[in-house]
Structure 1
Amino acid sequence: MLFNKVRLQHLLSIAEHAHFGRAAAALNISQPALSKSIKSLETDLGFQLLERSRKGTALTVFGELVVRHGALLIQAQSELLRELHLLSDLEIGSLRVALGPYPSVISGYEAAGKVLALYPKLKVSLRVGCWKEVARLVLDREADIGVAELSLVSDDSRFVTELVGQHQGRFLCRPGHPLLGKGAVPMSALFDFPWINTRLPKRCTADFPREPTAAGSFDPRTGEFVPSTEFDTPIQLAKLISNTDAVTFSSLGLVEAELKAGLLVPIPGIALTGNYGFIYLQNRPLSPATLTYMKAIRCVEKAYCLREQRLEKKYQALLQVPDGNQQ
């Protein structure tokens, strides 16, 4: 083989540290072993790659060219090996998933549990972050697939997207909140109270006031709405707002127990729609484990939608508003 992956990694380390001793320490090998590796690489290529001096070690023009392409060659080799391993038995494969806040608790974790029940030896990694972080993890190949808000990446040709979760979200408050008992609540009234929630994407916020309010403000860099209290994952919502006049936001299915116990009350007149789905790289084959996980997500989402419809019907009297008042 013309390019040996280990020798290329050795050269890249020397380029980074500009010193054989420091590079050898970072690689956890001896300096003579590193020198021998670089000499073998130079012999294979037929060019001198490094120049030593009292000031340290520098790349020759040939070394600079090899370093420039070396990282890409290593990544390409890793991708080739990955695709070959995709043909392996699913029992010994791996699954790396990046999840947005709401899909993580609606279907992401449950779907992973279903897959692990079938394939207990499968190595699974689940990471939760905002939709931007999910897209970055997929793009950097740190996740095989993402499940998150789609509006950020739907027009990006580097990704393939598929809608899987479209849920009715409701604003919620504690019993006895000042907004309750007045019929349908206009969206504008919510901005007089603190919000406890995840960030909201631009597609949901076209009618929000541009100036800061008690509810929160816009991030000038991203255009996202940042609530006055921001969290990463929608859990323990009743405990968060139980002693405050803050409001929060959730699909009814996530707070079914709290609604039943009377710890949370839906605010009538207002609804927003969730819009998340699969995100993966264009032209990158999906592993059997990933395809199995996607199938499990679709199954969990289908069951969740039926539960959500049942809850919407159950609380219809509280949620129903005259035509034109729903946001």
Structure 2
Amino acid sequence: MVLTSNALIESICCEKLIVITYRQLQHALSLFKNGNFTRAANQANISQSAFSRSIGNLEADLGVTLFDREHQTVTPTRYGEAFIRRAADIVNNTEELRREIDLMRGLNVGEFCVALGMYPAQVSGNAALGKMIRDFPNLRYRAHTGNWQTVNEYVLNRTVDLGFAAIEAATLEDGLSIEKVSEHQMVVFCRKEHPLATNRKPSRAELDQFPLVSIRVPAGLAEAIPGQSDIDVESGHLVPSVEIDDFSTARMLVSQSNAIGAAIPSQIESELESGELILLNFQNPWIAPVHGFIFLKNRTISPAAEVFMETVLKFEQTAREKNKSLIEKYLKS
């Protein structure tokens, strides 16, 4: 008789009563994801020796080797592959059960997890989250900030309840639903000592001579972005010469070099007021990516997520007015 990989684990567990803890399941999944005991132990926030004992005890209880340790990267054995599949299902189902119970208990307990794109985070997302923390201090919060790709991944793999980011790529994902929130015109900026600072209306050719500090740009907007960059052949995404996922880093790099950057004006308001950064009048009006809420289809939106969405919409009205006034004030014709 030939056993399938799942049947291998079932046959082992049927031979004797085996008690596997939830923590051991998480440790096995972490080791599979990281491929390294040190990184997996750090992620689990325990010592490497304790983590190794956890995996060793699990293998001893099962009577099989789950991970091949002979190479630099730890890889699952045939038994390990079957175990990882079942462990992932159990952990995901447990997290969903915990989430459903928290939904029933309301806004005074539980956890709200959100992923924010680096542009909408600074425009309205961070302010909305701050207000929620004031209004509902008993909730636990987890906030991730990154590019639009990271936001989509976090929503799809259920790491977060809700995403708030550029929605162009999310519209192509069958498993995602979106709700449009806003469009904010973006601007090209540089430091006041930049070679183009005296030419406030540079051409595309002139801008293309300088490094671009940016997140990776979706294919639909790639052609509109100036500066040194490449196009990813498979996806069509624009890959800037200086790729970042945090706007504070982008702001600092542009202020300390001859690179150029792209921003929603309110993100650099204080630097514009001080004169440290200036706007370059490139194709005014320029791009205005659509930002919106991103969530899983057929998954109930939590009360906390609904409150966050409502709060963002309130902050967005003020943000639109501010960005319009900043463009009128600082973008020289």
TM-score bucket of the superposed structures, by smaller chain: 0.7 to 0.9
Equivalent in 201, 204, 219 of residue 221 of structure 2: 204
Alpha-carbon distance in structure 1 between the residues aligned to 2:249 and 2:97: 44
| 1:269 Cα offset (Å) | 3.1
Instruction: Give the total of aligned pairs.
Output: 282
Distance 1:252 1:9, change over 3 A: closer
Query: Contact 1:161–1:279 (CA<8 Å) still a contact in 2?
Result: yes
Q: Where does structure 1 lack aligned partners over 5 or more consecutive residues?
A: 1-5, 36-49, 58-63, 321-327
Alignment RMSD: 3.7
Q: Which residue of 2 aligns with 1:187?
A: 204
| 1:248 Cα offset (Å) | 1.3
Q: Which residue of 2 aligns with 1:118?
A: 135
TM-score w.r.t. the length of structure 1 is 0.73
Alpha-carbon distance in structure 1 between the residues aligned to 2:313 and 2:155: 20
Equivalent in 315, 320, 326 of residue 300 of structure 1: 315
Equivalent position SS for 1:161: strand
| 1:152 Cα offset (Å) | 1.1
| 1:91 Cα offset (Å) | 1.3
Distance 1:10 1:180, change over 3 A: closer
Alpha-carbon distance in structure 2 between the residues aligned to 1:305 and 1:231: 25
Q: Which residue of 1 aligns with 2:54?
A: 26
Look up the equivalent residue of 2:104 and give its one-letter code: L
Alpha-carbon distance in structure 2 between the residues aligned to 1:269 and 1:303: 25
Equivalent in 156, 176, 187 of residue 159 of structure 1: 176
Q: Which residue of 1 aligns with 2:233?
A: 220
Q: Which residue of 1 aligns with 2:156?
A: 139
Alpha-carbon distance in structure 1 between the residues aligned to 2:92 and 2:53: 23
Q: Which residue of 2 aligns with 1:314?
A: 329
Look up the equivalent residue of 1:72 and give its one-letter code: D
| 1:85 Cα offset (Å) | 2.3
| 1:134 Cα offset (Å) | 1.1
Q: Deviations over 1:30-72 (max 9, x none)?
A: 99xx96xxxxxxxxxxxxxx8x6xx779xxxxxx999966753
| 1:23 Cα offset (Å) | 11
Q: Which residue of 2 aligns with 1:267?
A: 280
Task: Identify the range of structure 1 (92-101 vs 241-250) with the bigger mean alpha-carbon deviation.
Answer: 241-250
TM-score w.r.t. the length of structure 2 is 0.72
Judging by fraction of residues, say which structure has more helix. 2
Q: Which ranges of 4 or more aligned residues in structure 1 deviate by more than 3 Å?
A: 6-13, 22-25, 27-31, 64-78, 180-184, 236-239
Equivalent in 262, 269, 273 of residue 256 of structure 1: 269
Alpha-carbon distance in structure 1 between the residues aligned to 2:87 and 2:251: 53
- How much identity, in percent, do the aligned residues show? 29
